[in-house]
Structure 1
Amino acid sequence: MFKAIFTNSFGILFSRILGFIRDLLTASVLGANVYSDIFFIAFKLPNLFRRIFAEGAFTQVFLPSFTRSTKKSLFSVHIFVIFLSIILFITLLVNLVPELATKALAIGFDDKTVELAAPFVAINFYYLSFIFIVTFLSTLLQYKHHFATTAFATGLLNISLIGALLLSKGSADDVIVYYLSWGVVVGGALQLVVHIIAIQRVGLLKIIIGGFKYFNKKALHVKEETRVFRKQFFPAIWGNSTAQVSAFLDTWLASFLAAGSISYLYYSNRVFQLPLALFAIATSIAIFPRVARFIKNNEHEKALAYMQKAFWFLATILMLSTLGGFILSDEIVKILFQRGAFSEVDAVNTSFVLQMYLIGLLPFGLNKLFSLWLYASQLQIKAAKIASYSLISNIVLSLALISPMGAGGLALASTISGFLSFILTVKVFGTKQFLDIITSKKALYWLLAAVLFTFFLLWFKDFINGYI
């Protein structure tokens, strides 16, 4: 288990380091202004779809269904064709009416800003087709317990964007955004290439080729399996997308605030997402195939043993990350972003938003772990209900907190909704099972580590401030 977790973690760390380099360059070259807001808006919806597919609904429904399928080639290709057709249609629609798509993404933008942003929204949407194919192939690789390619491949997107920033440095802001938008598309194409190579090396290419070869003749043989998949998938989209939809709503509401607010949310969320991806998502991806197989074979004790190991690993790492990030938020933002066009005021505002996000790191991360139990147990409808309650609370709290707290209020609203989602997920997982996990001697060591680490951080904060 831990080998797979660390493989994912190192790959994600590699990608996130490149991502921070990209963000440093973006902050330095573009700063926090209307053009940086335009790019983040343009990339928001395809990136939202990426997170839903790659880290959520598709993988967590397709993998158990694929495991249970008696005709894996036909089933996988049938699902692939259906989804790719839908995504290509959406991409065509966005390119035909980019102004409407842009207005939907940022309703607070005035007509002039919408006109500026629309071409970039259309370009960024080409990324969506690439990333769906990548997600489909990465799920097949997970079935073979091959995680390295997907974990490291995300770095190719960041390399592409870094290249775009370096090539466009010194150009007008609209030219820089143009380069960045095509950089997103090139990054998606590069990810696809390495996944095709990995699929061929692990011997899965013949499954895909066989599925296409007999697709027309034998498609009816997987009709029932496909129907069950579709029935589970749409609740899974809703149940697995709360955090992403919340982030989308944050951006939408922030478009009504002062220029730069969308960028404050973006930069702070990038820092927040690092430990979430590095540990919570990496752990969930690593243990999901085995947990799904254990539950399928009615080996619940083995599944719970995996969950317990993963819980204490995640709880410790995320607790330390929360304390470290919250106490050192000013220093983190200054070191990472405060240079060039990114001012001290921008750093202060971003730091506050980061703190509001970090309060929810532990429940968000642990929710990733416990929600996979729901999907492996095919409890998609219950997961969808939990997501609905969480999203409603986020909307209400966002509207209540945006006026007194600005962008920080939007981040805090997402955090509170994350707590609610975690509590409800644990209830479905089983309160007794959860208490069996946390009522042990490890809980005392965990609390002691939290206290000692807090004292260390307070000392380190004073120490590091002398050098900033």
Structure 2
Amino acid sequence: MFKKAFYTNSSGILCSRIFGFIRDLLMANTLGAGIYSDIFFIAFKLPNLFRRIFSEGAFTQSFLPTFINAKRKGLICVCIFMIFFLFLILFSIAVQVFSGFFTKLLAYGFPQTTIELAKPIVAINFWYLSLIFCANFFSSLLQYKNNFWVSAYNTALLNIAMILTLIFAKDKDTYNIVYMLSYGVLIGGVAQILLHCYSLYKLKFFRLFVIGFLDLKIIFTKKEDSKIHILKNDLNSFLKQFFPALIGSSTAQIASFIDTLLASFLAVGSVSYLYYANRIFQLPLALFAIATSTALFPMVAKMIKNNDEKKALHLLKNAFWLLLFSLGICVVGGIVLKNEIIWILFERGKFQRDDTIIVANVFMMYLIGLIPFGIARIFSLWLYSHKRQDIAAKISAISLACGVLFSLILMQKFGVFALAFSSSLSGFVLLILTIKVFGYDKFKNVINSKRLFIILILVLILETLILYFLKHLFNFGGFYGA
């Protein structure tokens, strides 16, 4: 079951990322790395920050254990959905009304003229948050039934919508392209919701929603004490997990937000450099770490509930070695071929050779943290499955604080490169503290395989030699002279 779920998630993420790279290629060609690309990335980052905090991270990790243990699943499902959806609608209205404040909050270093240009773009993009919450809420329900393909493939629809918008708007002036691209984001969000409907119907979740609404109606009209008591217990259980998880699951997103804020004080294009480099970095992280943890979490949570810890640890061990091999190969390949990767993806149109070199080195700084971030993700699932979100939150807060401190110290001398490197350093802090709480003895049992370590080292050495030989032999991009 784990392998099937992993391959489903990986294939879906790969499909989505392929469309995502096509989207980024068109954006680099159309917008380049300048003021207008910075404006869009700022606007698009705000809903994505909250999406990952509310919809994907803290929400999923708190909702699934609550849903698994709930006595009235329809009731708790409907109540949680209504609470979050209404909150996000009100939040989006607030961003619409006070768009200047939120834009300034995200890009404090921008001049006022740029803030004015960015305000309407920020307001439009933020409505995507309500749409993607619905999609991710439905995905969480489908994962309970071990249906992973919808959540794996739905992001591709956002990228397709943005690609079609960029093609349609290619002859417009640059600011209008940014405007139209923002509406393309909303169209993609609607498409993501619609993709879930067939699977929800097939697995009888619409029937569950109806039962939940009827239970809720009974509570408000007849005030049935037993159902009120059940609802209060389930909501308290969810909220008790959610607020600590809100911090614990969002370290990378908050760090990315802070990096963007700090980058707005650096040279023009710095926000874009971070975006392009982080987009490539996110591919192996999503393809392996996120795909693995998404498949692993509902299985581990159910095993923990059934007191089958030994089986859960065995599953965790398989996931660890899968990730270590996969991410290790990606780190070595990415560092050796950093220039060539950015050249082949982005260097065309308004994206020049100087941009390629800068983004390539930022990308390398991010790659240093790929393994610790990926490995920490699966071990943190152990904490969430045991409902220890408060501990995970403390670990993430310490990691985040360290990352910000590293950035403030290093950015004065190393600029945008320091922001990416500091992010990687915070990943090591996150991993070390997570393993400490997980337990050193259990961790030693998970990694206890000298044979696999030796094989991994030999594979990485062989990969390095082959890639160095090939890149100097073919000299793609002309980085090594004639």
Q: Is it true that 1:257 corresponds to 2:266 in the alignment?
A: yes
Aligned twin of 1:157:
158
Aligned length: 468
- Between the aligned residues of both structures, percent identity stands at 50
> Kindly tell me: are residues 320 and 54 of structure 1, through their superposed partners in 2, closer, same or farther at Cα, counting changes over 3 Å?
farther
Alignment of 1:41-440 (within 5 A): 41-218=42-219, 220=228, 221-440=230-449
Q: Does 1:16 align with 2:30?
A: no
AA at the equivalent of 1:301:
K
Q: What is the CA deviation profile of residues 212-247 of structure 1, one whole-angstrom value per residue up to 9, with x for unaligned ones?
A: 222132362311110121111010010010011111
- Which residue number corresponds to residue 446 of structure 1? 456
Instruction: From the superposition, tell whether residues 214 and 330 of structure 1 become closer, same or farther in structure 2 (CA, over 3 Å).
Output: same
- Give the counterpart letter for 2:97 in structure 1: L
Q: Provide Cα deviations, 1:59-85, integer angstroms capped at 9, x if missing partner.
A: 111001100001100011111111111
2:106–2:261 Cα contact (<8 Å) kept: yes
AA partner of residue 56 (structure 1): G
DSSP-derived class of the 2:267 partner? coil
Shift of 1:403: 1.4
Cα distance in 1 for partners of 2:25, 2:142 equals: 32
Contact residue 284 and residue 372 of structure 1 kept, 8 A: yes
1:121, 1:16 → 2: CA distance?
Answer: 24
The answer to whether the Cα contact below 8 Å between 2:32 and 2:349 also exists between their aligned partners in 1 is: yes
Question: What is the CA distance between 1:98 and its match in structure 2?
Answer: 0.6
**Structure-1 separation of matches of 2:300 and 2:58:** 16
Query: 1:300-341 deviations in whole A, cap 9, x for unaligned?
Result: 000001001111001000000000001100000001000000
Q: Given that residues 268 and 351 in structure 1 are in contact (C-alpha distance below 8 angstroms), is that contact kept between their aligned partners in structure 2?
A: yes
Structure 1 residue 467: deviation in Å? 6.3
Amino acid at match of 2:423: S
Contact 1:53-1:135 within 8 A present in 2 as well: no
The 3-state SS of whatever aligns with 1:340 is: coil
Aligned-partner residue type, residue 446 of structure 1: L
Partners of 2:167 and 2:476 in 1: how far apart? 32
RMSD: 1.0
> Unaligned stretches of 5+ in structure 2?
220-226
Secondary structure of the corresponding residue to residue 56 of structure 1: helix
**Stretch moving more, 343-352 or 51-60:** 51-60
Cα displacement (A) at 1:54: 4.3
- The structure-2 alpha-carbon separation of the partners of 1:226 and 1:466, relative to structure 1 and needing over 3 Å to count, comes to closer
- What's the CA shift for 1:55? 3.5
TM normalised by structure 1 equals 0.98
One-letter code aligned to 1:372: L
Return the alpha-carbon distance in structure 2 between the equivalents of residues 387 and 84 of structure 1.
26
Please tell me the residue identity of whatever aligns with 2:32. Answer: G
| SS of alignment partner, residue 104 of structure 1 | helix
Q: Name the SS for the 1:109 alignment partner.
A: coil
